[in-house]
């Protein structure tokens, strides 16, 4: 069964490529305009002219744009993009903010789009999260920005692994960067294959990924979440596999009953004691992260849980579990679940960061405890 899941992951990537013809418009992906795509919200979107300017509300899309070499065309961003720009997108750190991802300043967006001319040239697009039906989704943004003629709105979703290659293909067409998009897709597919090969003959441990913890009120990563898909791809069994919720609400007693072999606590932000990765000071990591791990070890009856008994409780940096760099997170996850696997996540991350024009941050911790801590 586990081999079947691994094969399914690889097939999913290939299938995504095979069905691109249905996700993309019939227009040939050359330099001719207009170009038409179907975005992640199912909207048919036409790009009338070569894109020269972008206002980006989607953090993952901003990352993908930089990967394709078009970061200099981003003229404004949301606060979320700007926060990550301080360490991940230095090219964007001085760009103006147009609000938070779920509360945008539409008048400011319109003013930026118009520029000094007072009218919107059709060389600018707004890129947001798809979130169909949500007040902060692309449909709502497009409605609010409708008064600014020629400002095209596009919804992209780089969250789910199954969408990654399709979304990169769409973005390549929008920006006329098909060659660069395909090169990334080929690299991505190669790393997916490396993981599948490395874990195919391993055992399948039961894994609990803790999304949040407030007292005894816990939530996990269900099988329909992006992380839930990734758990299956590293040959692990998600203890929430039988539940329908994306982020199931449970209590600690439920976790005890499931007897997970491995527990991973999601890193919950730079302001928390579990902060790690790019956002934490390396000299402070050890003490704070040990406290986070001990919080789980010290829970009632935790000593009966295999993960606790076998010292397989981890805190994990979550920022690279969604977006174009999720293949990095997937490689780290596979290594945590299967330490014996022939995988080198640091090397994969180094390769990825070169694509962003960055260097691997020596001394940083991306999961704890690791072999280096």
Q: What is the mean pLDDT of the chain?
A: 88
pLDDT for the residue 24:
47
For residue range 312-347, what is the model confidence (pLDDT) as tens digits?
A: 999 998 888 889 999 999 999 999 999 999 999 999
120 or 24: which leads in pLDDT: 120
Mean pLDDT over 41-47 rounds to 95
Mean pLDDT over 103-111 rounds to 96
Structure tokens at 141: 């943004």
The pLDDT-based confidence of 84 (bands split at 50, 70, 90) is confident
Peptide bond into 223 cis (omega under 30): no
CA distances from 239 to 194, 260, 262 (A): 25, 7, 10
d(CA 52, CA 47): 11
134 CB-side CA count, 13 A = 13
18 or 270: which leads in pLDDT: 270
Look at the pTM and tell me if it is higher than 0.85: yes
The sign of the torsion formed by the CA atoms of 86, 91, 93, 99 equals negative
Domains in the chain, CATH or no CATH each: 2-188 (3.40.50.1980), 202-368 (3.40.50.1980)
Q: Please give the DSSP secondary-structure letter assigned to residue 319.
A: G
CA distances from 154 to 13, 20, 216, 229, 301 (A): 23, 17, 40, 25, 49
For residue range 154-210, what is the model confidence (pLDDT) as tens digits?
A: 999 898 888 899 999 999 999 999 999 999 999 999 999 999 999 999 999 999 999
- 3-state SS assignment for residue 36: strand
For residue range 245-291, what is the model confidence (pLDDT) as tens digits?
A: 999 999 999 999 999 999 999 875 554 555 567 766 655 557 778 88
Structure tokens at 119: 């009218």
pLDDT of residue 15 exceeding 50: no
End-to-end CA distance of the chain: 34
Mean pLDDT check: name the lowest of 50-54, 81-85, 108-112, 352-356.
81-85
Question: Is 35 in contact with 173 (CB distance < 8 Å)?
Answer: yes
Mean pLDDT over 59-64 rounds to 96
């Amino acid at each position: 069964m586990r081999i079947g899941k691994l094969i399914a992951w690889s097939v999913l990537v290939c299938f995504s490529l095979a069905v691109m013809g249905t996700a993309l418009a019939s227009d040939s992906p050359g330099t001719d305009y207009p170009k038409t795509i179907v975005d992640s919200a199912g909207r048919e979107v036409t790009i009338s002219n070569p894109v020269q300017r972008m206002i980006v509300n989607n953090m993952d899309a901003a990352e993908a744009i930089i990967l394709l070499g078009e970061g200099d065309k981003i003229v404004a961003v949301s606060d979320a993009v700007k926060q990550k720009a301080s360490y991940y997108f230095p090219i964007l750190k001085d760009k103006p903010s147009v609000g938070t991802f779920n509360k945008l300043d539409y008048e400011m967006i319109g003013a930026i789009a118009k520029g000094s001319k007072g009218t919107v040239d059709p060389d600018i697009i707004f890129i947001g999260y798809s979130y169909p039906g949500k007040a902060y989704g692309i449909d709502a943004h497009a409605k609010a920005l409708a008064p600014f003629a020629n400002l095209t709105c596009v919804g992209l979703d780089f969250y789910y692994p199954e969408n990654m290659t399709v979304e990169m293909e769409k973005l390549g067409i929008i920006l006329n960067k098909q060659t660069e998009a395909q090169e990334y897709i080929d690299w991505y597919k190669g790393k997916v294959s490396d993981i599948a090969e490395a874990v195919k003959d391993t055992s399948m441990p039961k894994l609990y990924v803790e999304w949040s913890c407030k007292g005894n009120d816990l939530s996990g990563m269900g099988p329909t979440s992006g992380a839930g898909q990734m758990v299956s791809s590293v040959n692990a069994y998600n203890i929430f596999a039988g539940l329908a919720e994306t982020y199931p609400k449970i209590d600690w007693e439920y976790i005890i009953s499931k007897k997970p072999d491995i527990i991973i606590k999601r890193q919950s932000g730079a302001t928390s004691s579990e902060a790690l990765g790019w956002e934490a000071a390396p000299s402070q990591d050890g003490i704070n992260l040990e406290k986070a791990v001990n919080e789980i070890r010290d829970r009632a009856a935790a000593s009966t849980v295999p993960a606790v008994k076998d010292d397989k409780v981890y805190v994990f940096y979550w920022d690279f579990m969604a977006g174009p760099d999720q293949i990095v997170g997937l490689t780290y996850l596979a290594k945590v679940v299967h330490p014996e696997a022939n995988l080198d996540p640091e090397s994969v991350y180094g390769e990825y960061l070169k694509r962003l024009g960055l260097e691997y941050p020596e001394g940083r911790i991306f999961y704890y405890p690791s072999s280096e801590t």
